[in-house]
Structure 1
């Protein structure tokens, strides 16, 4: 399990324990913090205590200092370091016989005590149970219930921004009360360990045990989203007063808060909004200490209501890509529905996406291709590069799974499409593919009709074309979905091949810059594309059939 910054990996357990306890304030201060409602883990983290103490199953007031007795170091040594208070007066601070009832922590709102509201029920470990294990067992069961197959996990935690205000309130409370004492001058709020990091250390080891996989950087994410309605509203109200906000805005805040309360899920969603949280953090940082003390309660009030916890288990998108060939002129590239009526017989997107999604057991998919072809254009040659982005895949397919997937697609009865080089690829292929869409070359073959017989001079003009720049105004047929503008494109080369038995038909082979509209380059689109085949040959030209024959992108081969 990973520790926090400054872990003393080379120290012995006993010396690490003593070093950790040396970070704590004197016993009377700890007793004071406990009495105002600060939990044991918040006391440890606010004073920068490092290491694995957070993962102890219980950190109640009576156990906070009993940690000392577990050290190999003698009690005499501990006493000399001021870490193990002796005598009846000192011991009374942490009497095991007097165990006050535990409210939710006034700083972390119960997050580090592993208490929260889930739906309409409050989760609290049964008496005598291990709160960390109980919590992680609940998470593990939910993950397994959703059918996730994982090889590791990463924790993402979202907390209410009011916790930052609570931490500041505690520090200012201690400053007002203990500023004259030597120990306080040695402490710095910047050493405080965040609630997020403390929670990760607390539960990651237990989660590893229950899930049977390691905690670290991984594509599978466990996201814990904590929200607390009452304190969040109070925070906004206090900030509004501190910033001199007018009464109308305050009433809007209260009205919004009432609306949020109608639906707990809304509250959790709002808590996720990073922009809002960032604005609150910035507003808190901008307040001077005297202004903060005037508008916030020092120390924070004890909290009875637990946070609302929303959990999300998801895998970062996985990408399966390769090249596809399309043999039918009645199959669109993407799903095409107009007025509830399907255009064409199928789509490449649906054929590939449905098969891949079935194997990956994901929530949804997105289809991405290196360029487009019209429904009546076949995709031949080596095929067009594509990616299928699968969201929240429960299963990452093996090489054998992908081979079986490709065989199933290629053996389809309709044989609309075929796939090549299908494989699991990294997200970097996304940028490579879009780079190829915009910058690479593509080759086409088209059957062209002209209004007069094709001459040898026409063939010479076409065959001698090399790196010819054309200007294409947005074609009429795509004006409904693309902004009107002129685009420069390059025709790298062209060749004309006569068709036996016909003088006005020929086969045009051409290689162009990606993004060139080939149909418009042939017929001119009422002069919107210039020059074009018609203007080059000085006659009317039409395209009858078009095939894409090659899309040059080596990274997909």
Structure 2
């Protein structure tokens, strides 16, 4: 069973810090899970009053009987003085000495030799032991978190070795994995008779895969389900200390860098992500690979994750200003990225292929990437579809679409995606429709729809699984030949400052030369952020140039 702890060091200003925490796992002493039914149902005997020296002595005696290390003895006494954990001495913690009478949060240097103790958080078996054998009750907040103790002790030690200041937060991580040989049999005993939940597949039987090692969630889940009597039967009671030390593997990592932008897709044979069917690659490349692999080389990252605001089919182009996306670069070795670097990277991606293009590349925070999924149901998308109909196209037929607004669709999961999407009926809205005639049996259909609407199925009906559809509206057979995404109406990410300045310049010069108010309004629609100037009294005068120069520091 492996356990993980992360420590951080800021590489730019040479500072050291810790981040994250140790994953909960199994040792000879098991941990409380904040919701075990058997613990909640036990009637409290007597809550431990850490201000009472007699109760503290009973608690300390029980800790020492279970061979808890000196630092864990301090933890269970709720000693929150960082200096107390640096190099403890056992004699200062014995119940007959003053260490036993330490008050919580007291700044005394009570310390001891570190023993072979792997106690973490609230040991569940030890909690039961206190209740049943000592008549005491402890709450989670009565115990100092082992993660805090780990930071207090190891942080200054590594700070001294690396000759850098200690910081609590930093983008550089020390990834520490702890392995203890004695835990493997314990985990096996705990998980015996259980099997991980398998995802149900609809049409085919999944291939057998190699069993993965148990996860933290599986272990905690079993701890919640096991009763106190079952745990006591599986493990020693009172709990004993491990027979061996843990082995620690340390790896230096930098926190990921997030690059956002928008992409256009100009190919009708390119998938958004790698398309592999039964081990066979269906397309030579993908949008994800064409964008992220040059990024990974440029940032010198070890891996990447790609996420976009929706996805298009292989045979669909994405035009206009493109589709917003974000790429997470894992463990980057190039950590200082400038605006000029983003411009170079953007040109590198755009020059390597004609199948895609990217724009507005910029560094964003992890929190900003959440905006890609926010408002998923509220955002809209614009499409253009080339439609074939069996009947001859007439002006009266096309006028039917001009009268439709906010058309509500009932769409069952399309047949073509049933292998990867659950069967459901979804309500979607087509906000507006317009047409452009092409010939006797073809016309272009322009749509603005709610995100997540299946456009192809709206045209041909998908054997009646989408109602209403173009076929039922026109009363004739219809099919879709070509589909393009014209716009993804999500204002993210913001245009770069360089692009903003160019728009300001173009806007001001055009207004000054022409004096036309409506031209300025057009630029407001092109770039959000100038809306507050739409009704400014100086809009048609030369003073607008001075006004924008003062507010946005635009140089002409």
Q: Structure 2-normalised TM-score?
A: 0.60
Structure 1: where are the runs of 5+ without partners?
A: 3-21, 69-77, 84-98, 112-158, 177-184, 241-248, 254-267
Mapped pair 1:208 → 2:159? yes
| CA gap 1:446/1:205 in 2 versus in 1, 3 angstroms | same
Does structure 2 retain, via aligned residues, the 8 Å contact 1:443–1:509?
A: yes
Q: How far apart, in 1, do the equivalents of 2:420 and 2:271 lie?
A: 16
C-alpha RMSD over aligned residues: 4.9
Matched with 2:455 is: 518
Q: CA deviation at 1:348?
A: 0.5
Mapped pair 1:445 → 2:384? yes
Mapped pair 1:276 → 2:276? no
| CA gap 1:536/1:364 in 2 versus in 1, 3 angstroms | same
Q: CA deviation at 1:516?
A: 1.6
SS at match of 1:380: strand
Q: Deviations over 1:511-531 (max 9, x none)?
A: 111122222222233333332
Q: CA deviation at 1:546?
A: 1.6
Matched with 1:541 is: 478
Matched with 1:550 is: 487
Q: CA deviation at 1:338?
A: 3.2
Q: How far apart, in 2, do the equivalents of 1:493 and 1:378 lie?
A: 21
Q: Deviations over 1:387-443 (max 9, x none)?
A: 22344445445233333221211122x311111222222334444322444331111
Q: Deviations over 1:333-384 (max 9, x none)?
A: 2211335543344211111121222234444323222222121211001111
SS at match of 1:458: helix
Structure 2: where are the runs of 5+ without partners?
A: 1-16, 19-51, 103-111, 194-211, 495-556
User: 1:136-155 maps to which residues of 2 (within 5 A)?
Assistant: none
User: 1:132-171 maps to which residues of 2 (within 5 A)?
Assistant: 165=125
User: 1:302-317 maps to which residues of 2 (within 5 A)?
Assistant: 305-311=244-250, 314=253
Q: How many residues align?
A: 415
Matched with 1:403 is: 343
Does structure 2 retain, via aligned residues, the 8 Å contact 1:24–1:49?
A: no
| CA gap 1:40/1:372 in 2 versus in 1, 3 angstroms | closer
Q: How far apart, in 1, do the equivalents of 2:355 and 2:394 lie?
A: 37
SS at match of 1:438: coil
Mapped pair 1:528 → 2:528? no
SS at match of 2:443: strand
Mapped pair 1:323 → 2:262? yes
Among residues 403, 421, 428, which one is paired with 1:464 in the alignment?
403
Bigger-Rg structure (1/2): 1
Does structure 2 retain, via aligned residues, the 8 Å contact 1:452–1:504?
A: yes
Q: How far apart, in 1, do the equivalents of 2:224 and 2:422 lie?
A: 40
SS at match of 1:554: coil
Question: Which moves more between the two structures, 435-444 or 547-556?
Answer: 435-444
Matched with 1:434 is: 373
> More helix per residue: 1 or 2?
1
Matched with 1:146 is: none
| CA gap 1:470/1:24 in 2 versus in 1, 3 angstroms | same
Matched with 1:342 is: 281
Does structure 1 retain, via aligned residues, the 8 Å contact 2:187–2:219?
A: no
Q: CA deviation at 1:46?
A: 4.3
Does structure 2 retain, via aligned residues, the 8 Å contact 1:46–1:191?
A: yes
Does structure 1 retain, via aligned residues, the 8 Å contact 2:71–2:85?
A: no
| CA gap 1:62/1:348 in 2 versus in 1, 3 angstroms | same
| CA gap 1:43/1:492 in 2 versus in 1, 3 angstroms | closer
Q: How far apart, in 1, do the equivalents of 2:330 and 2:307 lie?
A: 14
SS at match of 2:377: helix
